Amino acid sequence: MNDVSLSGAGRAQFSAAELLPRVDEQARGVVTRLSQAGHEAYLVGGCVRDLILGRTPKDFDVATSAHPSEIRMLFRNSRLIGRRFRLAHVFFQGGKIVETATFRANPFDEMEDLPEDLLISQDNVFGNAEQDARRRDFTINGLFLDPVAGRVVDYVDGLPDLERRLVRTIGDPEIRLREDPVRILRAAKFAARLGFEIEERTAAAMRAHAGELARCATARLVEEIYRLVHCGAARRAFELLTGLEVLPALLPEVAALHGDAAVGLQTAALLGAYDDARARGYLGSNALPYALLLYPALVARGAENGWLAKTVKQIGDRLRSPKRDRERALQMLELCRELEAQPRQERAARALVRRTAFAESLVLYALWLHASGQSLFAVGEWKAIARSFGVAIEALPGADEAKRHAGRRPRRGGRRPAGGRPQSGKDRGRAGGQR
């Protein structure tokens, strides 16, 4: 189809040719060379969706009828990767990569009787363009763009769903989510990021098969959790997962903490504050998701009985997440408690601001104060203290109030907390405990 009408997705009528000026030059070149060599080739997936929605794609992927060895022969600047399914990375100057994969088919498509266990562990079956589109997860991700002929190819009714602003699985959601339960998390991520709704049958299947997440490779789950938190719409993504009763299957430890309704609301507000920071270009480390999800409970419960360290260990052991992320998250949470306790002595302040996790902990503390409607005065003071000891702190996301106070030079040997009088050691001990 050459012409597309998509008024409901925030665009007036446009032709597919209108998308071409915004296509990455190197990606277009890959498709052109493959086409000139007699192969069928398209830009595929999220880049096509984002181009149609008027968004800027973060990368461009190519699908082609050429087999991996043929791609490698055509592009000297490529390398084959992958064990389960071979594909090519075509490299360009500046570190840019255009991922180029051979059309694949769903291994269950040729079966008359589906197996009881639908979890896909091998998907290295070559196919044609239509099969490749139909094996993808959601209709809005199944669109192809031919930048040579200037046309959008839609085998899966993705264009109508873009217009209706719906996330819908390609095919039966009961089957598609059992084939790959990580699609449950991806559905929430896309709906949150794009401001779409999840189609009714897809949402029902997400709720029904949340328990299947336990069967997924833990590395994929961890990666998707990080993406959910960093996607810029973490608040809505986690609200969707909570509403569809997916969170207890994904992060039972966090869901248990949300049994306290106030903690759940505060966590949502904190995630929203991080979304605002992401919109301004701030990106935290992969320790930040842990810290964001646990900080409100820490404020409500304190750290008595070591529950915080136990909870982080339980999550990390179950998901086999990188130990460095867990340890840094604990350091950040502990540092935030010290930031609130406001040590009086110069030696203590110097040691604190020079700790590795100080800068990101200060960001987390600023996000918490912002989310809970508190003054950011203390953040500005800590920035001034850090500067006085020669520790540079980058601009904090959205902490305009903190900027007004960051220029003040603190008194050496001590400072007054935002509440008034200098703290005694007894006061600091109390502030460091349950609040």
Catalytic residue annotation? 59, 61, 137
Separation in Å, CA 79 to CA 64, 74, 99: 16, 11, 10
Task: Label the pairing between strands 3-4 and 14-15.
Answer: antiparallel
Alpha-helix runs per DSSP H in 13-110: 25-36, 46-53, 68-74
User: Smallest Cα–Cα separation from 408: which of 383, 374, 391?
Assistant: 383
Cα–Cα distance measured from residue 302 to residue 403, given in angstroms and rounded to the nearest whole number = 29
Residue 339 and residue 301: Cα distance in Å, rounded? 17
Q: List the one residue out of 336, 338, 327 whose CA is nearest residue 372.
A: 336
Residue 128 tokens read as: 């044609």
Q: Which residue is listed with tokens 């903190």?
A: 402
| Ordered alpha helix ranges (H), 302-408 | 307-319, 323-341, 346-353, 358-371, 377-388, 400-406
Q: Do 316 and 323 touch, CB atoms closer than 8 A?
A: yes
Q: Which residue type is seen at 357? A: A
Neighbours of 26 (CB within 10 A): 17
SS3 146: strand
Q: What is the distance of C-alpha 148 from the center of its chain?
A: 32
Rounded to whole angstroms, how far apart are CA atoms 119 and 117? 6
27 touches 60 (CB < 8 A): yes
Token pair listed for 35? 């086409």
Cα dihedral across residues 79, 82, 83, 87: positive or negative: negative
